[in-house]
Structure 1
Amino acid sequence: MSMFDEQEEGEARLMGGGADADERAVEAALRPRNLAEFVGQERLREQLSLVLDAARGRGRSADHVLLSGPPGLGKTTLAMIVAAEMGVPLRITSGPAIQHAGDLAAILSSVSEGDVLFFDEIHRTARAAEELLYTAMEDFRVDVVVGKGPGATAIPLELPPFTLVGATTRTGLLPGPLRDRFGFTGHLELYEPQELEQVLVRSAGLLGVDLRADGGREIAGRSRGTPRIANRLLRRVRDFAEVRADGVVTGDIARAALEVFEVDGIGLDRLDRAVLTALCRNFGGGPVGLGTLAVAVAEERETVEEVAEPFLVRAGLLARTPRGRVATPAAWTHLGMAVPAQTPFAVPDGELDLFNTADEASGG
């Protein structure tokens, strides 16, 4: 059994069976297993290939790697590929799971020489554990504190050389000393539709789906530049094609299927449209606070901010300003509504900040 097969089996076991486990198993089966199979991110693949080839040539562990970018672009897959290319085991943990320095010390003490330790959401690691990572990454050593108070003793624990692959969606939340300890930092960009079509062709072959070129083009255009979403939509379109058609995924079939699953022409789903509709219809286009907007669509504030907003901002449909969330003229047009003569988007120069993550002075 390969490392990837063991990982897929472990993921399904952790999910506890059922439909969710089946979905996770299918997603894992679609993962590329080496850099040659990985579609897109050409510059990053070339850089990472050089790092790994050089490490293999020297017979040493690869430098620590930090991967950043939006969810669903392949950070976990690349971590698995790093381990596969180096021919070593992959160990997985995540920032939210590390709440104390002792949690991290226990994980690091079980790492063997050459192992790849994948640290997902590394920006959410507790500060005490974060500081323990500094010496672990740089000196391959951790100081285990025994006892409390004046009698506490720090016992140095030597670690074998290993490679830490960190993944984050928010690089800015990583402290400088931690970022500086990564020998290679790569950023994953959103995919172009043509690249997603290549992803879909590969996935369709693995799933046994008869995907026509116009069908792949239709799905790719609604996948928000994200391979994970493209693969998920492909599976839903496959279901529609098998149940209500002859199993062949054409452009017309893809459009009909995605209409049933409430994914529109540019990839907006039910939540995205609900946010835009509330912003335009209920609040006249804004500005409105995030908390108020979340109540209007009956969702948690974090769901609106982390799930819906990033794509709406990238698509130019919503803007974050110091006064609150504002609908752009493109949002009104996309919803089929007339753009008001005076839109709240026309804020004074210097106020508009598409990348402001705070909800400053917005009351919510």
Structure 2
Amino acid sequence: MSDGIVSPEPQDDTELAVEGALRPQSLQEFVGQHKVRGQLQLLLDAARMQDRPADHILMAGPPGLGKTTLAMIVAHESGRPLRMSNGPAIQHAGDLAALLSSLTPGEVLFIDEIHRMARSAEEMLYLAMEDFRIDIMVGKGAGATSIPLDLAPFTLVGATTRSGLLPNPLRDRFGFTAHLEFYESQELELVVKRSAGVLGIGLDAAQGSEIARRSRGTPRIANRLLRRVRDWSVVHGDHEVTLAGVRAALELYDVDEIGLDRLDRAVLDALVRRFRGGPVGLSTLAVAVGEEPDTVESVVEPYLVRIGFMGRTPRGRVATPTAYEHLGLPAETGLV
């Protein structure tokens, strides 16, 4: 297919199908995270050579960097089935006991947002990870009895965006912790190029670079923006993706030249103009933009801090001179 040609996609092109198609199937196909890939490859090769399940793995890092994809790759390259769950769904020890007791030998269990499991389930997981056994309490009060239940050996892959919330006894039971980092622009260009090939979209280097530059170092965002560029081209009847079309599509979705979206700019604008650069408390800042404090802290703040637009101090959030410069304001006053 020549560059710039947009081809029709299959009729079953749902968002779920697209997400699945865009996921790499092996460590060789996975772009970026070179150190983590090498560490995982050694872990899986050693387990295969010794004919045993791989050690338990913890994936830690911000959302959208590939933790779920790597868990799928671990199961695929181990030749083992994959069972998927998530922390918020495991709110009782009984939920975890039912899940663990149904695992087959060597199965890979993936628990997303593992830090959000109930504490009683976490404590049950300690013994399961270490000895492949759980204790089930039968009865109540003085007549309660603990019945040990042996489990099939399994590999637990946990994913967390907030590893600091995991208790030390649980974190220490993982044989390997993979710390995923944000992507460089060049790596995201490779992600966009691969995804464009899967979706049947021809992109030249300039178009791919434009999308990568606005993707906040996150492959999930890069793939999402690529799909919106595809949609814009289809709706406007363009048979070719152009650089002007890429910019128009991203402008329509309020993604500026460095990846800031509407909420990012609202937070930055409130911090600089309304609170004169701070310091201002998180809750106050969140109320000013009409969002929950958790949303500002987990979605907006990490990127603004990473690109040097915001600082965190004991007294609150502050704007940096770079933020004033981006808004075209003098850093002395923060006024329009």
Please report the TM-score for the alignment, with normalisation by the length of structure 2: 0.93
After superposing the two structures, state which structure 1 stretch, 147-156 or 157-166, moved more.
Answer: 147-156
1:16 is aligned to none
Instruction: Give the alignment partner of residue 119 of structure 2, picking from 127, 130, 146.
Output: 127
2:60 is aligned to 68
Give the total of aligned pairs: 324
Does residue 289 of structure 1 match 2:281? yes
User: What are the within-5 Å matches in structure 2 for residues 22-37 of structure 1?
Assistant: 22-37=14-29
2:183 is aligned to 191
Does residue 254 of structure 1 match 2:246? yes
1:140 is aligned to 132
1:341 Cα deviation after fit: 5.7
2:311 is aligned to 319
Q: Distance in 1 between matches of 2:35 and 2:316?
A: 37
1:339 Cα deviation after fit: 1.4
In structure 2, what residue type is equivalent to 1:119?
I
2:201 is aligned to 209
Does residue 219 of structure 1 match 2:211? yes
Q: Distance in 2 between matches of 1:291 and 1:172?
A: 21
Q: Distance in 2 between matches of 1:261 and 1:237?
A: 10
1:265 is aligned to 257
Q: State percent identity of aligned pairs.
A: 69
User: What are the within-5 Å matches in structure 2 for residues 82-231 of structure 1?
Assistant: 82-231=74-223
| Preserved CA contact (<8 Å) 2:136 2:146 | yes
Indicate how the Cα distance of structure 1 residues 32 and 305 shifts in structure 2: closer, same or farther if over 3 A, else same. Answer: same
In structure 2, what residue type is equivalent to 1:272?
D
1:48 is aligned to 40
1:247 Cα deviation after fit: 3.6
Deviations 1:191-215 (A, max 9, x none): 1111101111110001001111100
For CA contacts below 8 A with separation 6 or more, give which structure has more relative contact order.
2
Deviations 1:215-268 (A, max 9, x none): 000000000000000000000011112223624333332122111111011100
| Preserved CA contact (<8 Å) 1:291 1:301 | yes
Partner of 1:185: helix, strand, or coil?
Answer: strand
In structure 1, what residue type is equivalent to 2:42?
L
Q: Distance in 2 between matches of 1:202 and 1:243?
A: 23
After superposing the two structures, state which structure 1 stretch, 154-163 or 237-246, moved more.
Answer: 237-246
After superposing the two structures, state which structure 1 stretch, 239-248 or 154-163, moved more.
Answer: 239-248
Partner of 2:258: helix, strand, or coil?
Answer: coil
Q: Distance in 2 between matches of 1:91 and 1:247?
A: 41
Q: Distance in 1 between matches of 2:334 and 2:209?
A: 37
1:353 is aligned to none
Q: Distance in 1 between matches of 2:16 and 2:276?
A: 41
Partner of 1:142: helix, strand, or coil?
Answer: strand
1:105 Cα deviation after fit: 0.5
Q: Distance in 2 between matches of 1:217 and 1:104?
A: 44
Deviations 1:171-210 (A, max 9, x none): 1111121111111111111111111011111100010011
1:362 is aligned to none
Partner of 2:215: helix, strand, or coil?
Answer: coil
2:4 is aligned to none
1:244 is aligned to 236
| Preserved CA contact (<8 Å) 1:210 1:247 | no
After superposing the two structures, state which structure 1 stretch, 218-227 or 86-95, moved more.
Answer: 86-95
| Preserved CA contact (<8 Å) 1:262 1:269 | yes
Q: Distance in 2 between matches of 1:342 and 1:221?
A: 27
2:323 is aligned to 331
2:3 is aligned to none
Partner of 2:149: helix, strand, or coil?
Answer: strand
1:22 Cα deviation after fit: 2.7
Partner of 2:329: helix, strand, or coil?
Answer: coil
Q: Distance in 1 between matches of 2:293 and 2:126?
A: 34
Instruction: Give the alignment partner of residue 340 of structure 1, picking from 323, 332, 336.
Output: 332
1:130 Cα deviation after fit: 0.6
Q: Distance in 2 between matches of 1:319 and 1:244?
A: 41
In structure 1, stretches of 5+ residues that fail to align are 1-18, 344-364
Partner of 2:238: helix, strand, or coil?
Answer: coil
Indicate how the Cα distance of structure 1 residues 48 and 304 shifts in structure 2: closer, same or farther if over 3 A, else same. Answer: same
Partner of 1:277: helix, strand, or coil?
Answer: helix
Q: Distance in 2 between matches of 1:248 and 1:57?
A: 49
Structure 1 residue runs of 4+, over 3 Å off? none
| Preserved CA contact (<8 Å) 1:197 1:216 | yes
Q: Distance in 2 between matches of 1:206 and 1:245?
A: 21
1:25 Cα deviation after fit: 2.7
